Amino acid sequence: MAEGKDLEDLDERELNELGNAYSARGMWDEAVDSYLRSLAKRRSKDDPSGQALVLNNLGGVYYQQGRLREALECYEASVEIARDHREDVTELMALMNLVLVHFVRGEDDEFLRYAEQAEGLASKLERWEPLSRLSWLRGRLALEDAEAFQAGLHHYAQALDYSAREGEEELQEMLDRIDAQAEVLLEQGARGLALVLYDYLEAFAADQSFSEALLSRLSKKREEILRRPSLS
C-alpha cells in the first residue's frame, strides 16, 4: 500500500497489488476484500482487461478457501472477458486454473474440454511451460486407464519435449514428476508398466537427440526399477 493512503484512497492497480500481497501471506479474507474493491473500480471505469486479471486472482483466493464454485465462476468469467478483448495471456492463466481445478476434482470431461482450449492458446503463444504441464496432466489421467496407457506414454513424451524447450530447470522438474509417477506404478505392483514408461521415454529422447545426461538419467532409473525385488 502506498505510504499514507487509506484503503478507500487506493486505486484499482494498488488494490490488486494489495490483494496479491495478502494472498502471498495467506490472508485470504483481506485478499478477497482488496480484489473486490479493485474489481468494482475497474468496472466503474469500464476496464475489461483489468477485470479479467482481477477475476483470475480472486478465483485463486476462493480456491485456497475451498470455495470451489465461486473460484470456477471467477475463472470462467475471466476467460470470457479476456477472450472477448483478446487478452491472450490472461485468458491462458484462467484456462490453466480451470484445468487444474477440474483435474483435482476428478471431473474428466471438463478437464479435457478446458485442456484442449488451453493447449490451443498456449501453442499459439508458444508457451512451453503450460504445454508441458497440460501434457503431464493428460498423461497422468491416461495412465489410470489400462486401455489408454499408450496415449499416456505419448503425453509424457510431449511433456518432456515441452519442458526441455522451456529450459533445464523445468526439464529437471518434469523428470522428477515422472520418477514420482513411476513410484506410484511400483506401489501398485505395476513394475512392468513402469519399465515400459522408461523404455518409451528413452527411445523418444534418443530419437529427439536429447542430451546424454537426460538419456543417462532415464536409463539409470530403468535399471534401478529392474533390479528391485518383486513384491506380492
Tell whether 39 and 85 lie within a shared domain. yes
How much is the average pLDDT of 98-103? 96
Asked if residue 6 belongs to a domain, the reply is no
**Which residue from 135, 114, 107 is spatially nearest to 204, judged by alpha carbons?**
135
**Looking at per-residue confidence, does 3 or 147 come out higher?**
147
pLDDT at 101 exceeding the cut of 80? yes
Tell whether 159 and 200 lie within a shared domain. yes
Q: DSSP string spanning the chain?
A: --TT--GGG--HHHHHHHHHHHHHTT-HHHHHHHHHHHHHHHHHTT-HHHHHHHHHHHHHHHHHTT-HHHHHHHHHHHHHHHHHTT-HHHHHHHHHHHHHHHHHTT-HHHHHHHHHHHHHHHHHHT-HHHHHHHHHHHHHHHHTSGGGHHHHHHHHHHHHHHHHHH-HHHHHHHHHHHHHHHHHHHHTT-HHHHHHHHHHHHHHHHHTT--HHHHHHHHHHHHHHHHSPP--
Tell whether 58 and 32 lie within a shared domain. yes
Tell whether 174 and 204 lie within a shared domain. yes
The total number of structural domains that make up the chain: 2
Tell whether 87 and 169 lie within a shared domain. no
How much is the average pLDDT of 86-99? 97
How much is the average pLDDT of 81-87? 97
For the chain, the average pLDDT equals 93
pLDDT at 2 exceeding the cut of 50? no
The answer for residues whose C-beta is within 8 angstroms of residue 230's C-beta and 6 or more apart is 191
Tell whether 119 and 135 lie within a shared domain. no
Last residue of a domain, one of 63, 93, 125: 125
Residue 47 sits in a domain of what CATH number?
Answer: 1.25.40.10
Give the model's pLDDT for residue 145: 84
pLDDT at 119 exceeding the cut of 90? yes
Asked if residue 1 belongs to a domain, the reply is no
Asked if residue 3 belongs to a domain, the reply is no
Last residue of a domain, one of 125, 144, 174: 125
Domain that holds residue 150: 127-232
Tell whether 171 and 104 lie within a shared domain. no
Query: What percent of the chain has pLDDT above 70?
Result: 97
User: For residue 180, what is its C-alpha cell?
Assistant: 514420482
Tell whether 25 and 47 lie within a shared domain. yes
Last residue of a domain, one of 96, 125, 154: 125
Q: Which of 116-120, 197-201, 226-230 shows the lowest mean pLDDT across its residues?
A: 226-230
CA distance 230 to 12: 60
Tell whether 47 and 111 lie within a shared domain. yes
Asked if residue 164 belongs to a domain, the reply is yes
Tell whether 112 and 15 lie within a shared domain. yes
Asked if residue 183 belongs to a domain, the reply is yes
Report CA torsion sign: 124, 73, 66, 183: negative
Q: How confident is the model at residue 4 (pLDDT cuts 50, 70, 90)?
A: low
Tell whether 146 and 78 lie within a shared domain. no
How much is the average pLDDT of 66-75? 96
User: For residue 67, what is its C-alpha cell?
Assistant: 470455495
Asked if residue 99 belongs to a domain, the reply is yes
Tell whether 199 and 184 lie within a shared domain. yes
Cβ count within 10 A of residue 153: 20
pLDDT tens track for 171-207 = 999 999 999 999 999 998 889 999 999 999 999 999 9
How much is the average pLDDT of 206-218? 94
Give the model's pLDDT for residue 63: 96
Asked if residue 200 belongs to a domain, the reply is yes
pLDDT at 5 exceeding the cut of 70? no
